[in-house]
Structure 1
Amino acid sequence: MIFAMRCLANKLLQYENERVNMNYIKNIKNIKNIKNINLAVVLMANWIVDIIIGCILMFGLGKIDEKYLISTLVVDLVFMIVVYIFEYIKKNDRYDIWIKGFIVAKNIYLVFYYMEHFCGSSKNINPLDVRFWFNGLIYVAIMVFIFAIFYRLPATVITFNVFTFILLIVNLFLVDERGLPFFSADLFSIGTAMEVAGNYTFKEWPQYLCIFIWFLTSTVTTIYVLKMQTKTKPEKTKFNVLIRLACLGFVFGVLTLFLKTNIMVDSGIETYFWKHTKNGVVLNLMMDIKYSKLEIPEGYDVEELEKIANKYKGTEGDGKTPNIVVIMSESYADLSVIGDFETNVEIMPFINSMKENTIKGKMFTSVYGGSTADSEYEFFTGDSMISYPNGAVPYQTYLKGTKFMSSLVRNIQKAGYTTISFHPNEASNWNRTSIYQALGFNKSLWIDDVKNPEFLRNYVTDECDFNMIIDEFENKKADNPLFYFNITMQNHGGYLVKGYENTVEITSGSGKYPKAEQFMSVARETDKQVERLISYFENYEEPTVVVFFGDHQPKIDSNFIEDMLGGSMDNLGIEELQKLYQTPYFVWANYDIEEKEDYDISLNYLSTLLCKTAGLPTSAYQEYLAELSEKFPIINGNGVVDAEGNYYTKMDALEKFDELITYESFIYNHMYDKKGYISSFFEK
């Protein structure tokens, strides 16, 4: 009996265990089914959001085309299906690595696609192009580097997506406002950018919002899938340390590949710094970093430079010391150099009419839409930006902390001049406080020195600005020559400021160009104030020379430029490109000087032209520049135009002409070779 009862009890226990196990297995299957359903819902919701946002961008905002939208949605869907299939058939944790790999790859690919399309690169790079794979490799390296820091995929994905989203928005804004992408040197200009950001209109905010939603949904979906997988808490084991070291080794290898080898050039990739859409955002940035270091010029030899320098002698001038006023007019330009168009009123009637005692023409600058400090640098030093990496701002990078700079200012002081600078904005912009001390100004005036300033579109007016000049000359001592350097602010971008009524309207063509019209409206006011200032000095009792030039062209409507040039800005040759780097200039005197019209030069020669016109002493370096200008009247950051009118890119010119290599060596010696500095050549 007892044996029978034991057998029955064992049978009942076995049955109960089997029932519990079956329920457990059933519960596990139910949980898996629920997870699969939830995953399907999340993936489908992500895809639907992509469709909605894509349609808004295509039909509502016109920011993407049908081909791009369809290809993006197809690739997105394929990745999602693969992830779901692996999750559905998953039998053990070994499947997790494949699921994680596919969802992270999907995230990287879509971020890559978003970045390149919205920045205009997707039409130039494709999977059959090496630039596509180079960009992809850089994106992977960024992701791997972040993973080496956090060692958690969710945190890595979030950080990667936030970083790339910020980079995308910054690039979109900079391209829209200045026509150039983000450069590494821009990190040193954040303070200056913040000072003037208030006048820029974020008119593309609907596009930015759509991109943000796209990034957000991709991030949330990726994190959700990663969280579904087996949760393993990272342990501080030797294996994990090796994984991190391997990740850092991979990143180091990628950096070495791009920065220390010639793989980009050997692959036929050109340095399209102004055509950032040719190479892709991150590859272009990598090229910028590679070439951003100021290298010692090839064949640099101080002894050889001294031999060349000894061939030139400075001059003592004609003994005259006329007052000198130099006005660098913010963003002032004659847009007709880009192409022909008609307006309801003339933009610069007075400046166009100047002939008597006037030298004038087109000034070739090295910057477009910004980086005013580079134009200052070229004027003061006679050095050209051709020797610097694209996007460089010497004031903020290479010359930071410099206590002494051989310059026009110091040389002119030795002729008995008092030197004053005035800029109606913050002194801290572009590191000007310390730079102007290094240049040698006796006194510098800023916005805080302006009593009762008047503003136009939130910037000090040229009328108010020029009143400061007139006041200084009204109160100056007789027979004490004055050098007055002025940077205006009135015409600064942006050019969609609400509440300002444009006075200029483009009457030709069918396009809409609101930025161009607002710019020309304020530039027209500058012409009026220039006429008033010249009228004042015409009656001034002391001999005076006035120099006026625009620091760079404004960044206006892209469609205006393309309509004027008759083609896309992405496909500009060097001659067409240089049309965007021309501004008006004139040298005028209230006494007799030799007159010249259509006398086109680059900005690095302007201070030499000023000294020779005013009869001032010149340094041996200025005599060298005067001779160089006879063969190369135009040298700027983009390239060279020779005396026969032939255009050369920067790279081609430096390879073709030994004279430019010598010029580069002099520039390096002038500013950076403290031991081998040839003072007798640069200083008067």
Structure 2
Amino acid sequence: MKQISDKIQNSRPASIILTIWALCGFPLLCQLFTEWVRIGEWHETVRAFVRQLPLALLGTVVLSLIMTGIYILSRRIWISTLVVGLLMLTGSFVNFYKITYRGDPLLPKDLLLAVDAAKISSGLGLKLTYQMGFFFFFVALSVCVLLPVRSVFAKKGWKAFGARVLICLVPAALCGVYLKTVLWNKKVQTHFGVDTSQFYPMQSYQKAGFVTAFLMYFGALEPAVPEYYSPETVQAAAAALPVGEHSTQKRPDVVVVMLESYYHLDNLPGLVCDTDLTKNYDRYAKEGISGDYIPDKYSGGTESMEFGALTGFSTSFLPTGSIPYMEYVNGEFPCYPRFMKEQGYKTIALHSFDLSIYRRNEVYPAMGFDQVYGRDDFVSPAMHGNFIDDTETARKVISLYEDATADGSSVFMHTVTVQNHIPNQPGEYPEDYSVNITMPGISDYSAQSLKSVATGLRDVDDAIGILLDYFSQSDRDVVVLIFGDHQTAIGDQEGKELLDELPEFTQLSDEEKELRTHHAPYLMWSNFETRNAETAGAMPPYQLLATMLKDYNVVRPAWFDWLADTTTTLKGVNLGRVIEPDGTVGGIVAGANEKQWKVLHQQKILQYNAMFGDGSAKQRMYQ
């Protein structure tokens, strides 16, 4: 080995050839290995990569320029190989597990969640796959081969280093120009069938490969200004909002509860359970308004649904992969909690987990919450794994509510639970505590994971019963919105989950799979007005609170009034599609009819102005 090393070190042609291979061949092969990690099957990976090759070559240019810059600075080609190799290894690992648990790939905006993801993933038991092992071996072998390669930048010292820094500006400038003129060019993206504005980017990643798609989405981080946006169109849109008649609106206490990973297991054919997992939900649905809505995400991204419900803002109008709490909610942010605070209500937020996740410790005050409580405010709560039991959270809600209303004040209270958070692995609950389930044709691992999920869902239903039983006996008027944030992946193992074992699911089209995994229940109920098992149909998250407030005639701003009124034209947009007035998911947004376009155009203008513009419409929106 030493003889080979000496020959490479003393041979200038060999050094040049290996350097060229490192700068060109290595980044291309790294992309092949990244796709292998994602896909799993080697032959399928090769076929997919051949189709991706033109776009993979576009991504290779950027990686080569990055490696060139590191090489110039460090004078060692093996260092640039090691740095880029480790970045690609890390990216392939995170991308694989994000797809596994969330169903969508790693996006540039996900980098904002690096710290939060590390806190949550510590309990997931993530393991390396053998594909990742081969990838690591390839990187390590490449570095070892390149260790003896001579550098063309032989001089040492500060002057030489300064010169290399100046030379580095060349590949940096070329990289910037290349990104702007090629990878971020809409015409280039359209030519290759990549659409960075689509809500779910998996198709783009499958066409372009991880590196090229990731870099393309880097060029779409900023919110797009709506078409025809101007002071005049903002003023016209604001003027068209309804005038709030607060004197005729009811002023009960308003309680919102978002339940982690709460949904009904009706998408699992053949499931038999010895426990009624929805008895309390069903009991109160007979007195209220209930149904399924369409969440933004699958198996994660809780804050997107929370943000939509509390603000009435659509994440469909934000850059793909946006994380509003991490990016946009600062200062005095316009939303319903702030409106209620201005109406004289006490505003309380409770999350039974770490408040630093999604910056809730900063976001909640920015949204107008006067009192904010988190995991540390519970005293010796019952736990399941790392998470506080949802029934404990229900009792905490009641305790905080009683304290807040003791002086007769009106209250707006928002709660987020956490018990049913992934990983939902086998054995999360003691055997004598767990519900019993049977489901034919699935693996034992999936069956045991499903058992954990079902047990958690039973506890969630118990929490619903505790809350609504309490409020049904209250002598104060209360209106309650309860909704699950999203469905959750069950039995994740080596990139596969329970749904991947079911022919009834795997035989569906990609569109049908998306719709099957993007619905979760909601329940709107009050103790002062009984409904006869009504439904408001399917809707996006941003219509949930607006719809409930309108239906029960609860005090609300003009913005929420307008949103509820628009449901006769469309229920909203989500998953890149129009939700029709009857709740069915229609065609893509580009195919909306003229009336729907008019509503969406006004909605985009007002939301953009409130979030990113001069805010001139906010007073009218929240009057």
Bin the TM-score by the shorter chain.
0.7 to 0.9
| CA distance 1:233–1:647, change in 2 (3 Å) | farther
Aligned-pair distance for 1:460?
0.6
Aligned to 1:119, which of 26, 38, 54? 38
* Map of 1:507 onto structure 2: 439
* Map of 1:602 onto structure 2: 540
Aligned-pair distance for 1:472?
2.7
Write out aligned runs for 1:137-152 (5 A): 137-152=61-76
In the alignment, the residues of structure 2 paired with residue 542 and residue 91 of structure 1 have an alpha-carbon distance, to the nearest angstrom, of: 87
In the alignment, the residues of structure 2 paired with residue 165 and residue 129 of structure 1 have an alpha-carbon distance, to the nearest angstrom, of: 20
| CA distance 1:569–1:667, change in 2 (3 Å) | farther
In the alignment, the residues of structure 2 paired with residue 420 and residue 313 of structure 1 have an alpha-carbon distance, to the nearest angstrom, of: 27
In the alignment, the residues of structure 2 paired with residue 460 and residue 242 of structure 1 have an alpha-carbon distance, to the nearest angstrom, of: 55
Aligned-pair distance for 1:431?
1.6
Is the 8 Å Cα contact of residues 368 and 553 (structure 1) preserved in structure 2?
A: yes
Give the aligned residue type for 2:617. I
Give the aligned residue type for 1:298. E
Structure number with greater Rg is 1
Is the 8 Å Cα contact of residues 63 and 84 (structure 2) preserved in structure 1?
A: no
Is the 8 Å Cα contact of residues 593 and 613 (structure 1) preserved in structure 2?
A: no
Write out aligned runs for 1:300-315 (5 A): 300-311=229-240, 312-315=242-245
Question: Is the aligned partner of 1:293 residue 2:222?
Answer: yes
CA-to-aligned-CA distance 1:469-495 (integer Å, 9 cap, x gap): 122344432643222111111111112
Aligned-pair distance for 1:403?
1.6
Is the 8 Å Cα contact of residues 549 and 584 (structure 1) preserved in structure 2?
A: yes
* Map of 1:81 onto structure 2: none
In the alignment, the residues of structure 1 paired with residue 498 and residue 322 of structure 2 have an alpha-carbon distance, to the nearest angstrom, of: 27
State the percentage of identical aligned residues: 20
In the alignment, the residues of structure 1 paired with residue 603 and residue 2 of structure 2 have an alpha-carbon distance, to the nearest angstrom, of: 73
In the alignment, the residues of structure 1 paired with residue 591 and residue 305 of structure 2 have an alpha-carbon distance, to the nearest angstrom, of: 23
SS of 1:483's partner is: strand
Question: Is the aligned partner of 1:627 residue 2:557?
Answer: no
Question: Is the aligned partner of 1:134 residue 2:58?
Answer: yes
Is the 8 Å Cα contact of residues 93 and 230 (structure 1) preserved in structure 2?
A: no
In the alignment, the residues of structure 1 paired with residue 414 and residue 161 of structure 2 have an alpha-carbon distance, to the nearest angstrom, of: 64
Give the aligned residue type for 2:559. Y
Write out aligned runs for 1:405-484 (5 A): 405-475=333-403, 476-477=405-406, 479-484=408-413
TM-score, L = length of structure 2? 0.86
In the alignment, the residues of structure 1 paired with residue 228 and residue 249 of structure 2 have an alpha-carbon distance, to the nearest angstrom, of: 40
Is the 8 Å Cα contact of residues 426 and 449 (structure 2) preserved in structure 1?
A: no
TM-score, L = length of structure 1? 0.79
| CA distance 1:140–1:619, change in 2 (3 Å) | same
| CA distance 1:246–1:324, change in 2 (3 Å) | closer
Q: List runs of 5+ in structure 2 lacking aligned partners.
A: 40-44
In the alignment, the residues of structure 1 paired with residue 530 and residue 68 of structure 2 have an alpha-carbon distance, to the nearest angstrom, of: 65
In the alignment, the residues of structure 1 paired with residue 11 and residue 144 of structure 2 have an alpha-carbon distance, to the nearest angstrom, of: 25
Aligned-pair distance for 1:461?
0.5
SS of 2:116's partner is: helix
Write out aligned runs for 1:555-570 (5 A): 555-556=489-490, 557=492, 558-564=496-502, 566=504
SS of 2:48's partner is: coil
Write out aligned runs for 1:521-670 (5 A): 521-556=455-490, 557=492, 558-564=496-502, 566=504, 572-573=510-511, 575-595=512-532, 596-597=534-535, 599-636=537-574, 638-643=576-581, 645-649=584-588, 657-670=597-610
Question: Is the aligned partner of 1:519 residue 2:448?
Answer: no
Question: Is the aligned partner of 1:359 residue 2:289?
Answer: yes
Question: Is the aligned partner of 1:269 residue 2:191?
Answer: no
Aligned-pair distance for 1:417?
2.1
In the alignment, the residues of structure 2 paired with residue 652 and residue 286 of structure 1 have an alpha-carbon distance, to the nearest angstrom, of: 29
CA-to-aligned-CA distance 1:194-253 (integer Å, 9 cap, x gap): 3323321224466544543343223223335x26x9994568399967753442233223
| CA distance 1:317–1:458, change in 2 (3 Å) | farther
Q: List runs of 5+ in structure 1 lacking aligned partners.
A: 1-32, 40-86
* Map of 1:349 onto structure 2: 279
In the alignment, the residues of structure 2 paired with residue 325 and residue 489 of structure 1 have an alpha-carbon distance, to the nearest angstrom, of: 17
SS of 2:273's partner is: coil
* Map of 2:252 onto structure 1: 322
Give the aligned residue type for 2:550. K
Write out aligned runs for 1:21-40 (5 A): 35=3
Is the 8 Å Cα contact of residues 52 and 207 (structure 2) preserved in structure 1?
A: no
Question: Is the aligned partner of 1:392 residue 2:309?
Answer: no
CA-to-aligned-CA distance 1:568-610 (integer Å, 9 cap, x gap): 599612x531332211110112232444136222210112122
Give the aligned residue type for 1:217. L
Aligned to 1:109, which of 22, 28, 32? 28
| CA distance 1:307–1:127, change in 2 (3 Å) | closer
* Map of 1:183 onto structure 2: 107
In the alignment, the residues of structure 2 paired with residue 307 and residue 178 of structure 1 have an alpha-carbon distance, to the nearest angstrom, of: 40
Which of 562-571 and 126-135 deviates more?
Answer: 562-571
Is the 8 Å Cα contact of residues 390 and 637 (structure 1) preserved in structure 2?
A: no
Question: Is the aligned partner of 1:174 residue 2:98?
Answer: yes
Is the 8 Å Cα contact of residues 37 and 131 (structure 2) preserved in structure 1?
A: no
Give the aligned residue type for 2:212. L
Is the 8 Å Cα contact of residues 366 and 638 (structure 1) preserved in structure 2?
A: no
* Map of 1:84 onto structure 2: none
| CA distance 1:317–1:367, change in 2 (3 Å) | farther
SS of 1:158's partner is: helix
Aligned to 1:679, which of 591, 609, 618? 618
In the alignment, the residues of structure 2 paired with residue 649 and residue 474 of structure 1 have an alpha-carbon distance, to the nearest angstrom, of: 46
Is the 8 Å Cα contact of residues 339 and 565 (structure 1) preserved in structure 2?
A: no
Is the 8 Å Cα contact of residues 334 and 584 (structure 1) preserved in structure 2?
A: yes
Aligned-pair distance for 1:415?
3.7
CA-to-aligned-CA distance 1:633-652 (integer Å, 9 cap, x gap): 14225432223635234566
SS of 2:349's partner is: strand
In the alignment, the residues of structure 1 paired with residue 66 and residue 360 of structure 2 have an alpha-carbon distance, to the nearest angstrom, of: 35
* Map of 2:264 onto structure 1: 334
In the alignment, the residues of structure 2 paired with residue 149 and residue 142 of structure 1 have an alpha-carbon distance, to the nearest angstrom, of: 11
Is the 8 Å Cα contact of residues 390 and 418 (structure 2) preserved in structure 1?
A: yes
* Map of 2:145 onto structure 1: 221
In the alignment, the residues of structure 1 paired with residue 130 and residue 547 of structure 2 have an alpha-carbon distance, to the nearest angstrom, of: 49
* Map of 1:30 onto structure 2: none
Give the aligned residue type for 1:265. T
In the alignment, the residues of structure 2 paired with residue 142 and residue 561 of structure 1 have an alpha-carbon distance, to the nearest angstrom, of: 40
Is the 8 Å Cα contact of residues 112 and 326 (structure 2) preserved in structure 1?
A: yes
Alignment size in residue pairs: 596
In the alignment, the residues of structure 1 paired with residue 335 and residue 22 of structure 2 have an alpha-carbon distance, to the nearest angstrom, of: 58
In the alignment, the residues of structure 2 paired with residue 147 and residue 162 of structure 1 have an alpha-carbon distance, to the nearest angstrom, of: 15
Is the 8 Å Cα contact of residues 333 and 367 (structure 2) preserved in structure 1?
A: yes
| CA distance 1:349–1:583, change in 2 (3 Å) | same
Aligned-pair distance for 1:284?
1.9
